[in-house]
Amino acid sequence: MANDPDDPALILRINEGDGDAFDILYHRHRDWVFRMACRLTGAPHLADDVMQEVFCYFLGKFPGFDLRCGLRTFFYPVVRNLSLNAVKKARRYDGGPEAVTHLENLTAPEQTTDDDGGIREIIAGLSADHREILLLRFVDGMTLPEIAELIAIPLGTAKSRLHHALGALRGHPTIHEIRGKTERSAVANC
**Do 25 and 10 meet the contact criterion of CB atoms below 8 Å apart?**
yes
Phi-psi bin for 141: left (phi > 0), alpha (psi -120 to 50), beta?
Answer: left
The domain total for the chain is: 2
Q: Which ranges constitute the DSSP H helices of the chain?
A: 7-15, 19-41, 44-59, 71-92, 96-104, 119-124, 128-134, 144-150, 155-170, 173-188
Residue 85 lies in a domain: yes
Q: Are residues 19 and 81 in the same domain?
A: yes
Residue 100 lies in a domain: no
What pLDDT shows up at residue 170? 85
What pLDDT shows up at residue 180? 65
**How far apart (Å, rounded) are the C-alpha atoms in residues 90 and 104?**
19
The pLDDT profile of the chain, 190 residues, written as one tens digit per residue, is 557 799 999 999 999 999 899 999 999 999 999 999 998 888 899 999 999 999 999 999 999 999 888 898 899 999 999 998 998 888 877 554 454 444 445 554 454 445 556 777 888 788 888 988 988 888 888 899 988 888 889 999 999 999 999 998 888 887 767 666 666 665 566 5
CATH of the domain at 16: 1.10.1740.10
From the list 63, 76, 72, the residue with the least C-alpha distance to 11 is 63
What pLDDT shows up at residue 179? 65
Q: Are residues 86 and 23 in the same domain?
A: yes
Q: Are residues 73 and 127 in the same domain?
A: no
Domain containing 66 equals 1-92
Q: Are residues 55 and 123 in the same domain?
A: no
Q: Are residues 3 and 81 in the same domain?
A: yes
CATH of the domain at 165: 1.10.10.10
Residue 9 lies in a domain: yes
Residue 50 lies in a domain: yes
Q: Are residues 3 and 85 in the same domain?
A: yes
Q: Are residues 86 and 6 in the same domain?
A: yes
What pLDDT shows up at residue 90? 85
